[in-house]
Structure 1
Amino acid sequence: MAIRNGTRAGLIFGFIMVFLILIGVPETINVILQEATTNIDVETGQVINTAAFLFVMGVVAGFAAARKEEPDPLSGAVLSGLIAGLITGATTGLMIIILRSLALSEIDLREYLDKLSPTAIESLALRLSPILAGGAHVLIFALSGATGGLLNWIGRGPWRGPVGQMISNTRDRLARLPIVAQAQNSPITRYVVWAAVIAVVMIVPQFLNDYWSFVLGTVGIYVIMGLGLNIVVGMAGLLDLGNVAFFAVGAYTVGLLTAPEPVGVLWDFWTALIFGIVLAGLAGVILGVPVLRLRGDYLAIVTLGLGEIIRILIRSDLLKDFTGGPRGVRDISGPSLFGLEIGSERTFLYFILVGIFLLIFVTIRLKNSRVGRAWIAMREDETVAQAMGINTLNYKLLAFGMGAAFAGLGGVLFASRNQFTGPEDHTLLVSINVLAVVIVGGMNSIPGVILGAFALKGLPEILRQLDEYRVLVFGGLLVVMMILRPEGLWPSQRTRLQFSDEDEPVPIELSSATSAAPTPIKADVEEQKQAATR
């Protein structure tokens, strides 16, 4: 069992490591770590950072190889991790021997794979000769794989039972205290918690510079769009990939109504804001009519096409005089309050935060209303919901309209903050980003949307060098989430209960009395025999 698990994990992680090396991920991480450790010289830093990256990947491989069904948990976990590390190290070591030998022969591999520069190969070889570099890879992965298996055993060791029981008992004792029970059942507690959260969130921008205010503003805009798509996908169960179309409607509405060109209407921002939200909502309803009868993948394909149609029309020569074509719309006006322009990044961040709190309030009210319950019924089973008297067509249009209005607000804020919007701001990647925010965070979960936006839009700004791997990370993250945590990072209570019910097997108990009792069919046969005898 241990040999099989270790071999399987080693082969998988060996191919993963080869793929990561070919696309240049180790070198990118090396650059990031070098920027963080400025006190170490470059050559030593490259060796240390590369060895650390290899060790971490080996620990992950060993941890994944160890399984809890081993007959001897400790030795089985360590052996599985060791075998996984040896196979992974042998795979990468053989690759490094080949690459290092070619590099020493002055063969430039960048003609075929642009990420395999001589510097990158030298770092991966730990500045050693080809044979020593291959052996070093095997040794590092073997040690780290065994360490990962040991950590897996420690994580599921016998200490977890007593500690978990102690934590559970402490929580139960605290819950039985009169003051705690009264606080949990009182609505005042909920209001106090919300007030504290709002106060903390409003204080945070005071400690941020313009760059981080801009980053958090971008995260906030995606939170707004995620809340809208959460209504469509999370509540109503409609897989919509055309969210970017309504984002574009909101952005171009505020741009055309407030910018001096190409229309030159020069309306006030607040009027344009209302028009942007309303027009985006109407566009959602109008574009939702042709797809009312579609479900699942077909709905996703059609909405994706509608989103692309909007983007192509925006940059087409047909509407160039109205939308600005590929040049976009410039000099878009921002909001002003009591004669004061909301121009700085920090001030605009407050404006975005206010919009987020308002939309959270609206979402909670919708979720707890009759409309929200109808959406959830449609998501669970549309046929049954229709049989129960729910007008699914109307509720679908309402979901499309509400989600589009939220996306329109995000587009208005995006365009007014940047004072520009163009066709390249409204590509398919925007819809994919928002959908990933909802899925990774947890569908039908407001905290999940916020957490997903921070994970997918905030972290890439911190790790700027990994920006070119964003699509790869999205795909890998979605696959990992679907396998390991399909309910999301922060699922709703309903979703959490559903997945917990699926994990618990239903016990089947047959008592002696039950087994001795005649079945309904047998009882019917005996009654027929008695009637025939009489």
Structure 2
Amino acid sequence: MKDLIKQGLRLGSIFGVVIIFLILFGLTSTLSDILGEFVNLESRTRTGNPGGLIILFAILSLWAGSMATASDRSNWKPALVSGVSVSLIIALLISGFILLVGFLDSLDVAMRDYLAQLDHLSIQFLLYGRDLTTGVLLTFGIFFLFGILGALLTYWYEAKQAGEVIQKQVLVLKEKALDSKLAKQYKENPRSKWIGYGLLGLVVFITPQFLGKYWNYAMGTVGIYVLMGLGLNIVVGLAGLLDLGYVAFFAIGAYTAGLLTAPAPLPLQIGFWPVLIFSIVMAAFAGILLGIPVLRMRGDYLAIVTLGFGEIIRVLIRSDMLAPYVGGPQGIRDIAGPSLFGIAFSGKAYLYLIIFAILLIILFTNYLQNSKVGRAWMAMREDETVAQAMGINTLYYKLMAFATGAAFAGLGGALFAARNQYTGPADHTLMVSINVLSLLIVGGMGSIPGVIVGAFVLKGLPEILRELDLYRLLVFGGLLVFMMIMRPEGIWPAPRRRMELHEGELDVLPPEESLVGKEG
């Protein structure tokens, strides 16, 4: 019981400190606005929606309470003790913090001189527009009661999962049987599979017709990140080569398209379609050039070298020395876009072009993944030394992985530059590499559907929740930490990676000593 209380106090302290930081960053005000608008609460102030704040605090309390029961779900008493300890410490921390800032505000202390987000109106918002005592007691009650409720609801939900470990085993066996049955049906009746693909294609084809200009542009950006994610998925997810300078190949593709199609700084003005192919080739060639000197490197050393390569490319394209050739800090303008039968592509046509490119890359990636090349990459990822001992030419397959991943990034860069009719150093910062790597982690390493889901989560949701744009890095960091702790395999992981991370969870045999009677 003491261990449960200690664990609850520790978890409650973490949650309490995180929520206080959210208040200090002003993120609670933004989230309360979103929640208030979602449930049509009209009582909004200049600093936020008090009704939305109550909903936000209730959600956080339920989450904290549910986390408290993770250690012992065998009985309702441990769940209640954990929930009470977590809820109590969070309620004391948050209500104590609000009591402190409210008391200082009542003494006319200029809190904003020390904490930018805590002016008089913000503090009144934290008190729900009420007096200090009522606001503090309301906050304490929300966190304490909803935290206990979250713990009990989680216990009740888990208790309904009959059979626990054995039931999980039965469920897995049923899923395997169902999967094999469905696979058999697909093999015997391939028409069903093609009907499913056809319906999916129809939805993808129709959707841009109903999206406005802005959303077509936003979905195009998501699509470009899908292309880059598919490329980095080969390098990191399949071959196991950590590349932190992936933006360099994106920049090479974009600048190749810009230099060969724009009227300045090089007045070549070649057509888009041959330039698109040349951009892919140039990016792949750059991938090989990067791969040659790092063939013997692994792990952290490889990550540092690729990070340096990405920064070298960024510094070069914005340098004054190369400004007459690549545009310098001003970038390249008036980049020509694609046209078909003399008709220039519009916003919808660009989105269709990006979707078509994604489909081609998915087919090609799926072919590679299930071929000898893909199996060699996965063997290298698991253990490069063993793969080499088995006769796999690791140097060749490393170069192939770098070249393939770079080619996909070059394709994305060329489409990006042509769509925007501009590219510059600001488009090719380290954050691009971090974004692409993050979408792989969130979506699922080695998984094609995971790449698509990760791109929509990390690039699509910020477009929907524009109010959170100022907190993008904070959200990225929090999301990555959450995924690493709660779901390290990603939202939609590859089957092999899911099995690796959950290996041993479905063992149904009791410990060895329980099978052997006591001596004597």
| TM-score, normalized by the shorter chain, greater than 0.5 | yes
Spell out the pairing of 1:379-394 with structure 2 (5 A cutoff). 379-394=381-396
2:196 matched to which residue of 1?
193
Distance 1:180 1:314 in 2: 51
Q: Does 1:372 pair with 2:374? A: yes
Q: Give the superposition deviation at 1:106.
A: 3.2
Gaps of 5+ in 1: 514-534
Q: 1:284 aligns with which of 276, 283, 287?
A: 287
Residues 319-368 of structure 1 deviation map (CA, whole Å, 9 limit, x = unaligned): 0111111111111111111211112x222111100000000000001111
1:495 CA displacement: 1.3
- Distance in 1, matches of 2:383 and 2:254, equals 35
Distance verdict in 2 for CA 1:126–1:153, change over 3 Å: same
**Aligned equivalent of 2:107:** 105
How many angstroms does 1:311 deviate by?
0.3
Structure 1, 14-23 or 34-43: larger mean CA deviation = 34-43
Distance change (3 Å), C-alpha of 1:39 and 1:80: closer
Moved over 6 A (4+): 162-177, 508-513
Corresponding letter in the other structure for 1:252: Y
Give the structure 2 partner of residue 229 of structure 1.
232
Question: 29-38 or 411-420, which moves further after superposition?
Answer: 29-38
Q: Distance in 2 between matches of 1:185 and 1:121?
A: 66
* Residues 55-102 of structure 1: per-residue CA shift (max 9 Å, x gap): 11111111111135256x223323322221121011011111111122
Does the CA contact (< 8 Å) of 2:41 and 2:51 recur in 1?
Answer: no
> Partner of 1:339 in structure 2?
342
- 3-state SS in 2 of match to 1:42: coil
Q: CA shift at 1:390, angstroms?
A: 0.9
Q: Which residue of structure 2 aligns with residue 151 of structure 1?
A: 153
Structure 2 counterpart SS, 1:156? helix
Report the residue type matching 2:287 in the other structure.
Answer: G
Instruction: Give the superposition deviation at 1:39.
Output: 6.2
1:309 to 309, 312, 317: 312
Change (3 A) 1:274 1:173: closer
Give the CA deviation at 1:183: 3.1
- Give the whole-Å Cα distance in 2 for the aligned partners of 1:224 and 1:474: 20
Instruction: Say whether 1:208 aligns with 2:211.
Output: yes
Q: Which one has a bigger Cα radius of gyration? A: 1
Partner of 1:409: 411
Q: Which residue of 1 aligns with 2:88?
A: 86
* Stretch of structure 1 that moved more, 126-135 or 154-163: 154-163
Which residue in 2 is equivalent to 1:220? Answer: 223
**C-alpha separation in 2, matches of 1:334 and 1:98:** 59
TM-score (norm 2): 0.92
Aligned to 1:362: 364
Tell me, in whole angstroms, the C-alpha distance in 2 between the residues paired with 1:180 and 1:280.
38
Identity within the alignment, %: 51
Deviates more, 1:139-148 or 1:42-51: 42-51
Which of 129, 144, 167 in structure 2 is aligned with 1:127? Answer: 129
CA distance in 2, matches of 1:512, 1:29: 54
CA distance, structure 2, for counterparts of residue 298 and residue 88 of structure 1: 42
1:11 shift after superposition: 1.2
Q: Is the 8 A contact 1:90 1:134 kept in 2?
A: no
Once the two structures are superposed, what CA deviation does each residue of 1:249-290 show, in whole Å capped at 9, x if it has no partner? 011111111111111111101011011111011011101212
Q: Secondary structure of 1:291's partner? A: coil
- Per-residue CA deviation, residues 231-264 of structure 1 (Å, 9 max, x unaligned), is 0001100000111000000111111111111111
Any conservation in 2 of the 1:63–1:149 contact (CA below 8 Å)? yes
In structure 1, the residue matched to 2:321 is: 318
Equivalent position of 1:46 in the other structure:
49
* Structure 1 counterpart of 2:475: 473
2:180 and 2:388 mapped to 1: Cα distance? Answer: 43
Give the corresponding residue for 2:505.
503
User: Counterpart of 2:503 in 1: which secondary structure?
Assistant: helix
Q: Distance in 2 between matches of 1:373 and 1:327?
A: 44
1:5–1:67 Cα contact (<8 Å) kept: no
Residues 238 and 174 of structure 1, relative CA distance in 2, 3 Å threshold? closer
Alpha-carbon spacing, 1:500–1:52, altered in 2? closer, same or farther (3 Å): same
> SS at 2:438's partner residue?
helix
Q: Would the aligned equivalents of 1:83 and 1:142 in 2 still touch at CA under 8 Å?
A: no
Q: In the alignment, residue 219 of structure 2 is paired with which amino acid?
A: L
- Secondary structure in 2 matching 1:40: coil
Classify the secondary structure of the residue corresponding to 1:290: coil
Q: Taking structure 1 as the reference length, what is the TM-score of the superposition?
A: 0.89
Deviation at 1:138, TM superposition (A): 1.2
Question: 2:73 touches 2:159 (CA, 8 Å); kept in 1?
Answer: no
Alignment of 1:485-500 (within 5 A): 485-500=487-502
SS of 2:293's equivalent? helix
Deviates more, 1:406-415 or 1:94-103: 94-103
Which residue type is aligned with residue 214 of structure 1? Answer: Y
Residue 260 of structure 2 corresponds to 257
Question: Is 1:270 the counterpart of 2:273 in the alignment?
Answer: yes
SS of residue matched to 1:413? helix
Contact 1:85 1:138 in 2 (8 A): no
**Quick one: distance in 1 between partners of 2:512 and 2:153?**
38
Matches within 5 A, 1:403-482: 403-482=405-484
Q: Distance in 1 between matches of 2:508 and 2:311?
A: 47
CA contact (8 A) 1:90 1:137 kept: no
Q: Residues 42 and 75 from structure 1, CA distance in 2 versus in 1: closer, same or farther, beyond 3 angstroms?
A: same
Look up the equivalent residue of 1:325 and give its one-letter code. Answer: G
Q: Is the Cα–Cα contact under 8 Å of residues 93 and 135 in structure 1 kept in the other structure?
A: yes
Provide the residue aligned with 2:354 in structure 1.
Answer: 352
**Contact kept in structure 1, 2:41 and 2:52, CA below 8 Å:** no
Deviation at 1:34, TM superposition (A): 4.7
Counterpart of 1:320, as a letter, is A
Provide the aligned C-alpha RMSD in A: 2.6
SS of residue matched to 1:254: helix
The answer (yes or no) to whether the contact 1:98–1:130 under 8 Å persists in 2 is no
Indicate which of 397, 400, 411 corresponds to 1:398.
400
Q: Answer whether contact 1:277 1:405 (CA < 8 A) is retained.
A: yes
CA contact (8 A) 2:229 2:436 kept: yes
Q: What does residue 244 of structure 1 align with? A: 247
- Could you say which residue in structure 2 is the equivalent of 1:523? none
Could you say if the C-alpha distance between residues 509 and 502 of structure 1 is closer, same or farther in structure 2, counting changes exceeding 3 Å?
A: closer
352-361 or 293-302, larger mean C-alpha shift: 293-302
Partners of 1:381 and 1:173 in 2: CA distance: 32
Partner of residue 517, structure 1: none
